[in-house]
Structure 1
Amino acid sequence: MVIEVWKNIKRKQLAPVYLIYGTEAFLINETRQLLLENALSDDEIDFNLSQIDLEETPIETALEDAETLPFMGERRLVFMQNPFFLTAEKSKSKVEHNIKKLEEYIANPAPYSIIALVAPYEKLDERKKITKELKQRAAVIEAKKLNEHEIRAWIKERASLSNVQILDEAIDMMLELAGTNLMLLTNELDKLSLYVDEGKTIDREMVEQLVAKSLEQNIFTLVDKFLQRDLTGAVQIYHELLRQNEEPIKILGFMASQVRLMYQVKALAKQGYSQQKIAGALKIHPYRVKLALEKTGRFNERELLSLIHDFAEADYKMKTGQLDKAIALELLFLKSRP
């Protein structure tokens, strides 16, 4: 798993070759930063760090950089971005690569260099010899979008990097408050880890006390209150968002998006789609589908469509100046009063 490779990097147990592939930008950037911090000192970066775009530079030229002795330091670090030759897709780049040179290098890498092939692609071509060789010989990080189970495991592993533990009920609360964005979760975990000190355990109460709700989660709660006809609760959250300088049109847009998602999820579930297939069809995280499915049971499709129409009407009145933006949403809440 990603965390195991990260642990080795932090212990300075550095591999000569890394393959980082996938579309989860946070995992890619975090790995790059860890390599940079642990492979080179601040004084060595100017002399021994290279960043090469393989859509513009042949691999053999990049490898020459890796085979150059480090200057005023112990090692070189070479990031090789966009190795499109690892995929089945055709590139617009006219650069030709001598892949044989890369095969020879990874079989016998320079002892004073670290190379990291950064492939921001969803899939690699597993049929290619070079892909197979890299997966066998390199330290591999698959930077993919994580499902709910993987995020829960990742949170536990990420906490262990800071030498703390986190209870399952605390993870539940973290996901409820902060959502599934890995950058937000990392920031909150780092904050919690500093709070509890090394060797201690993060519990649900600590998460409730310290983790800030993301805008998305605040909107989710607002929509939930609104749909339950809890006018007081909805208005309280709405006013809190206004105090945080959130724009009423932005809030309305998020609310409309959430109800539209519920409608789409309900329609696809009615057609027999599984949770995973719904997530794939709508291109969203499966955890969002799970939460939407939990809410849709209380409403029929006609009610949800009516709400979407009300949101559209309120949006039009806001943008054309027919109603004050802040007041328009409150009127919408009043309309929902039982």
Structure 2
Amino acid sequence: MNLNYAEFLEIVNKSFLPAYVFYGEERFLIDEAVKKLKNKLLTDGTDIMNLSIIENVDDKNVIDSLETLPFMSDHRLILIKDDEFFKKLNDSTINNIIKHIEDGDTNNCIAFIFGDKIDMRKKLFKTISKVGAIVNFEHLKYEEAVNYVGFFVRKYGKVIKKPVAEYIVKNIGVDLYRLLNEVKKFVSYSNDKEILIDDVKFLISSNISESVFRLVNAIGLKQESTAIYVLNKMIANAENPIGILAMIGRQFRILLKAKYFLKQNLDRKELQSRLGIPYFSINDIIEQSKRFEEDDLIDAYELCVKCDRELKLSYDGNVVLESLIRKLCN
């Protein structure tokens, strides 16, 4: 089965499957899906013994996990979080995993967590699609993100009017982890029961989405000094380098999708739906996409992926991001 998050929730509340694949851009909902699986499968008090999390796979640790029986519980849950999964394991191990899934083992449930995309042609994914579930966690649409802001605010015992929630999404974007972090700031700052627009405007000291748009626009025009200026301004506003990179990468993905869909002569309403962005942003996205060739956008996104690895190994994220900007401008 190929599902979205809502369809996954319907199924997991009724029963569980022997294998799952979670992938996509919305990492908050992926983490929520993992929590749902844990709550469904693992008995309270025994979850430590019956949960295996593998972030660096090898043939031994994967097979050992599959062959381990549950302890004082009916099930075990194996989480594999390694995008290099297919490069690190030999064919024999992968075939062993496939057999385990095809046999419908009720002792061990295995869940794979990948990045934004997967290759559905691989035998493992074809098998899981037949007997398990492959769940795609795309970034939420604008209205969905607005609803989540309201949910987060209510979770902390406060209320928010829809126009204020819309203002937050317009300025922060639709990534749920970013929205949750901002909501925490608003809740801590506000002394009232209601989150007010003035509080929100005060705390959002710079328009992050607009800054990323300006930065990418400068890259498209090969204006290196302008791009670095915008980057340094974002950093000065205490934006996290990893968060900045995520927003830059997301912008290039949107532009690449926009160029693809524009070739199909979609109208603006359909384009907005396919891209999952607010309607008021469509004209800007169309204009910005014209500044790049398709190959340039692909190269830019690949540079962002490489930069992500470098950021995680670096002590100075600012230098890494500046180096990225120089490469993108040249």
| Bigger Cα Rg | 1
